[in-house]
Amino acid sequence: MEVKKVLSDLKRRFPNEPEYHQAVEEVLMTIEEEYNKHPEFEKYNLIERLCIPDRVFTFRVTWVDDKGQVQTNMGYRIQHNNAIGPYKGGIRFHSSVNLSILKFLAFEQTFKNSLTTLPMGGGKGGSDFSPRGKSDMEVMRFCQAFVTELWRHIGPQTDVPAGDIGVGGREVGYMYGMYKKMALENTGTFTGKGLEFGGSLVRPEATGYGNVYFLLEMLKTKGIDIKDKVVAVSGSGNVAQYTVKKLISLGAKVITMSDSNGYIYDPDGIDEEKLAYIFNLKNVQRGRIREYAEKYGCKYVEGARPWNEKCDIAMPSATQNEIDGDDARALLANGCFAVSEGANMPSTPEAIAEFLNAKILYAPGKAANAGGVSVSGLEMTQNSIKLSWSREEVDAKLQSIMKEIHAQCTLYGKQEDGYTNYVKGANVAGFMKVAKAMMAQGVL
C-alpha cells in the first residue's frame, strides 16, 4: 500500500469530505508498516474495501414545529463495515452534521469496536437537526420522523444505533418507541435505552468512566497516582459529566468544563455538589455553562477552549478538532503530561504530532472512549438473553475491557525506547482483527 496514492484516490472520489480524509490518513499512516507485511491484504484490495463504507443511506426528515410550520432536515446512516458483527454506532443530532463528519465517525467506530473484544461492526448516523432550543414535543416529533425512514435499515442483527452528541436518553427513548411501532418487535435495536425498557446499568456513565479507567492504566505504567492531579475537561454533556464524576471520586481536581459558547475555570475544583448543579443545568434545565460561573463566582471565557489553563491532565470530551497545534503546545508548556480523549478525534493531526514528539501519555479516542460502545455491546447481550446484570457486574466488565484495550495498544504500540505510541497501537490492533475477518469471508 502506498498511503499517498490511496489518499489521493479517496480525495478524488469523495471531495469536500475533510474530516473523513483526516481520519483515514491518521489510520493509514500508522498501519502502513504492518499492512505491508501481508501481501495477501494488497492482493484482495483490503484497504479500499476498509476505507469506503459498505453503504450510505441519505434521506429527508420532515416534521412540524410548535408553530405549525413544516421543517426539513437531512438524515443519514452510514453502515461502514460488518466483518466482525452487526453495524454499531451512535446517532448525532447537531447543526454541523454532514456526510464527511459521519463518514469519519463510522470509519473510526469500526476500529474502536474491533478493540472492544466484542462482536460489533462499525456504523454511524445522524442529522443536521439540533435539539438545542427545541421543545420536548418538537424533539419527539423529529425523532419519530427520523425513525420512520431509518427503521427499515436497522435491526438487532443488522445495525444497532445508540446516542452521540445531541442524542441522549430522551432522544433514544423517542426513537426506540417509534422503531418498535414500525418493526413490531421488542428486541432492543438501539442501545442507551432507559432502564425500564431494556437499557443497561452503567451505560450513561460508560464513556466517561471508561476514559478514566483507560487513563488509570496509562498512569500505572509510570507509577503516577491520579489523586490531587489537576485535570482540564472540555464539554459538559454526557461524556464530560461522567468523566468529571469519576475523577472527583478518585480525588483528582477538575478545573474546567465547557460548552459550544465558552468554558468555565474553577480554581477550587468542581466538587460533587457543583457537579450535581451541572447535571441539572445541562440535563434538565438545558442551560449554558456560563450559568455555572455566575452561580459559583468563577471565571468564564466566552468563545474559547480551556487548553490554556494549567493542568496535569487534559480530557477533551466535546467534539472533533477541539485541540489544535497551538492548544497542544500550550498544554505541554504548562506541564500537561497526559491526554486521554473522551471525544472522537478531538486533536488535530498537528496536535497529535506535538503530543507524540513530547512523548507524553496520549490516548486517542478510539481506545480511550471505547467504554461507551462496550457497554452498548453488553446491553445487546442482556437484551438477547433477556436478563439484566447488576451495576457491579457491568462496571467490572467495563473495567476489564478497558484494561484489555490498553493491553492491545501496548502490544502493537510499544517502541524500542519504551515509549508507548497508543495511536499506532490502537490503529494496528483494531485493523488486524477486522482485516483477518474480512480475509476469511472472501471478496464482498
SS3 of 90, please?
strand
Q: With respect to ligand NDP, which residue has the nearer C-beta, 308 or 319?
A: 319
With contacts defined by CB under 6 A, how many residues of the chain interact with ligand NDP?
A: 23
Of 21-29, 37-45, 160-168, 350-358, which part binds ligand NDP (CB under 6 A)? 160-168
Q: With respect to ligand NDP, which residue has the nearer C-beta, 70 or 284?
A: 284
Measure the CA angle with vertex 336, ends 335 and 342; round to 5°: 170
Q: Which one of residues 166, 199, 364, 430 is an interface residue with ligand NDP (CB under 6 A)?
A: 166
Of 175-183, 325-333, 338-346, 419-427, which part binds ligand NDP (CB under 6 A)? 338-346
Q: With respect to ligand NDP, which residue has the nearer C-beta, 189 or 344?
A: 344
- What one-letter code names the amino acid at 350? E
Measure the CA angle with vertex 283, ends 316 and 309; round to 5°: 30
Report the C-alpha gap between 167 and 190 in whole angstroms. 12
Least distance (Å) between residue 237 CB and ligand NDP: 2
Report the C-alpha gap between 170 and 143 in whole angstroms. 10
Under a CB-based contact definition with an 8 Å cutoff, are residues 214 and 400 in contact? no
Please, which residues bridge with residue 62 across strands?
72
Q: Which residues are catalytic?
A: 124
Residues numbered 351 to 390 that lie near ligand NDP (CB under 6 A) are 369, 372
CA torsion 380→385→386→391, rounded to 10°?
-60
Which single residue is written with the C-alpha cell 475537561? 233
Residue 260 near ligand NDP by CB under 6 A: yes
Of 238-246, 327-335, 418-426, 429-437, which part binds ligand NDP (CB under 6 A)? 238-246
Which single residue is written with the C-alpha cell 476500529? 111
- Interface mask toward ligand NDP for 271-290; x: CB under 6 A: --------------------
Residues numbered 192 to 211 that lie near ligand NDP (CB under 6 A) are 207
Q: What is the DSSP letter of 300?
A: E
Residue 398 near ligand NDP by CB under 6 A: no
Residue 161 near ligand NDP by CB under 6 A: no
Q: How many CB atoms lie within 10 A of CB 26?
A: 21
Residue 319 near ligand NDP by CB under 6 A: yes
Residue 165 near ligand NDP by CB under 6 A: yes
- Closest residue by Cα to residue 179 from 128, 203, 204, 145: 145
Residue 427 near ligand NDP by CB under 6 A: no
Helix spans in 301-362 (H): 325-333, 349-358
Residue 238 near ligand NDP by CB under 6 A: yes
Q: Which one of residues 343, 352, 361, 380 is an interface residue with ligand NDP (CB under 6 A)?
A: 343
Under a CB-based contact definition with an 8 Å cutoff, are residues 332 and 190 in contact? no
List of residues 6+ apart from 57 with CB closer than 8 A: 75, 76, 77, 78, 79, 150, 153
Burial bucket for residue 149 (CB in 10 Å: 0-12, 13-18, 19+): middle
Residue 178 near ligand NDP by CB under 6 A: no
Residue 123 near ligand NDP by CB under 6 A: no
Under a CB-based contact definition with an 8 Å cutoff, are residues 150 and 125 in contact? yes
CA torsion 347→349→350→356, rounded to 10°?
80
Q: Which one of residues 126, 161, 199, 342 is an interface residue with ligand NDP (CB under 6 A)?
A: 342
Least distance (Å) between residue 202 CB and ligand NDP: 11
Least distance (Å) between residue 206 CB and ligand NDP: 7
Under a CB-based contact definition with an 8 Å cutoff, are residues 289 and 259 in contact? yes
Q: Which one of residues 161, 163, 173, 199 is an interface residue with ligand NDP (CB under 6 A)?
A: 163
Of 56-64, 179-187, 246-254, 312-320, which part binds ligand NDP (CB under 6 A)? 312-320
Residue numbers at the binding site for ligand NDP (CB under 6 A): 163-166, 168, 207, 235-240, 259-261, 317-319, 342-344, 369, 372
